[in-house]
């Protein structure tokens, strides 16, 4: 039925070995960057490392799809019908993330409660057992709830004024 074995390139086993090594090396570089990032505090530095990690992630994805999933050795017809629709992700990601970002800005501008939340420091909780942890969360959730209760009528009043 399918005779694509006839146009196989090179020794498949050698290719599998090569790709395995590449994937391992890429993962190790990612991990090194991850460890490195723990120490980096500047916004720009972290962003640069994150960008590099995303590029490495895409490279890994390419090797898995192209060699493990064998797409590179399929006919060009198949490659195109698979790869071209994935371009839809570009606008999918751009629009969603930029609107998420804009939603944060909106809330920081018009929602005093939301903005205030981002400035109040809380204690880190050290709960190692399920029950304790659950109690801790409940307590934590109760606190903002009461705050919100006070904030909400104020908000409603604000909107009415408008």
Partner 1 sequence: MSNVTTASTKEAKWWNGGKSPFDVEYGKVMMWYFLMSDAFTFGAFLIAYGTVRFSTNGWPNPNEVFKSYPFAGEGTNAPLVFVSIMTFILIVSSVTMVLAVHAGKMMDKKGVVRNMILTIIGGIAFLSCQAWEWNHLHHEGAWWGMNPFINADGTASSTNFTNFFFTITGFHGFHVFSGVVINIIMLIMTLTNQFEKRGHYLMIEKAGLYWHFVDLVWVFVFTCFYLL
Partner 2 sequence: MSHEAVLHAHESHGHDDHGHHEHHDTFLTKYVFSQDHKMIAKQFLITGMVWAVLGGLMSVLFRLQLGYPDASFPWLESILGKWAKGGQITPEAYYALVTTHGTVLVFFVLTAGLSGTFANFLIPLQIGARDMASPFMNMLSYWFFLAASIVMMSSLFVETGPFSGGWVAYPPLSALRDASPGSKSGMDLWIISMALFVVSSLLGGLNYIATILNMRTKGMSMTRLPLTIWALFFTAVLGVLSFPVLLSGFILLIFDRNFGTSFYLSDIFVNGVGALSNEGGSAILYQHLFWFLGHPEVYIILLPAMGMVSEIMSVNSRKPIFGYMAMLGSLFAIAVLAFLVWAHHMFVTGLNPFLGSVFVLLTLLIAVPSAIKVFNWLTTLWRGNIRFTPGMLFAIGFVSLFISGGLTGIWLGNAALDIHLHDTYFVIAHFHIVMGVASMFGMFAGVYHWFPKMYGRYLNNSLGYMHFWVTLAGAYMIFWPMHYEGLAGMPRRYFDFSIWESFKQFAELNRFISTVAMIVFAAQLLFIINFFYSIFKGRKVTDPNPWKSNTLEWTTPINPGHGNWPGEIPEVHRWPYDYGKDGVDFIPQDVPVGDHESSH
Q: Which residues bind partner 2 (CB under 8 A)?
A: 1, 81, 85, 88, 91-92, 95-96, 98-100, 102-103, 106, 111, 113-114, 117, 141-142, 144-146, 148-149, 151-153, 155-156
Establish if 97 lies at the interface with partner 1 (CB under 8 A): yes
Please state the closest distance from residue 53 (CB atom) to partner 2, in A: 24
* 80, 143, 157, 159 from 150: Cα distances, Å: 57, 11, 12, 15
Q: Nearer Cβ to partner 1, position 38 or 157?
A: 38
Query: Per CB under 8 A, which of residues 2..21 are in contact with partner 1?
Result: 2-5, 12-13, 16, 20
Please state the closest distance from residue 159 (CB atom) to partner 2, in A: 12
Establish if 48 lies at the interface with partner 1 (CB under 8 A): no
**CA-based angle 139:140:146, to the nearest 5?**
85
Establish if 110 lies at the interface with partner 1 (CB under 8 A): no
Q: Give the chain's length.
A: 162
Using CA atoms of 125, 127, 130, 134 in order, give the dihedral in degrees to the nearest 10.
Answer: -30
Please tell me whether residue 9 adopts helix, strand or coil conformation. coil
Establish if 103 lies at the interface with partner 1 (CB under 8 A): yes
Establish if 92 lies at the interface with partner 1 (CB under 8 A): yes
Q: Nearer Cβ to partner 2, position 122 or 145?
A: 145
> How many whole angstroms separate alpha carbon 51 and alpha carbon 30?
11
* 33, 39, 63 from 44: Cα distances, Å: 15, 13, 29
Cβ-Cβ contacts under 8 Å for 162 (sequence gap 6 or more): none
Q: Nearer Cβ to partner 2, position 98 or 108?
A: 98
């Amino acid at each position: 039925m399918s005779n694509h074995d006839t146009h196989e390139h090179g020794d498949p086993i050698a290719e599998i070995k090569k790709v395995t090594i590449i994937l391992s090396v890429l993962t190790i570089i990612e991990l090194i960057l991850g460890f490195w990032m723990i120490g980096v505090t500047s916004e720009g530095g972290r962003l640069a490392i994150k960008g590099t990690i995303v590029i490495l992630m895409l490279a890994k994805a390419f090797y898995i799809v192209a060699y493990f999933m064998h797409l590179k050795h399929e006919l060009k017809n198949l490659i195109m019908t698979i790869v071209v629709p994935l371009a839809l992700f570009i606008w999918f990601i751009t629009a969603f993330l930029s609107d998420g970002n804009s939603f944060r800005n909106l809330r920081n501008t018009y929602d005093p409660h939301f903005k205030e939340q981002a400035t109040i420091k809380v204690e880190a909780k050290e709960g190692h057992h399920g029950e304790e942890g659950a109690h801790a969360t409940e307590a934590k959730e109760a606190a903002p709830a009461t705050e919100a209760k006070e904030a909400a009528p104020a908000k409603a009043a604000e909107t009415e004024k408008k």
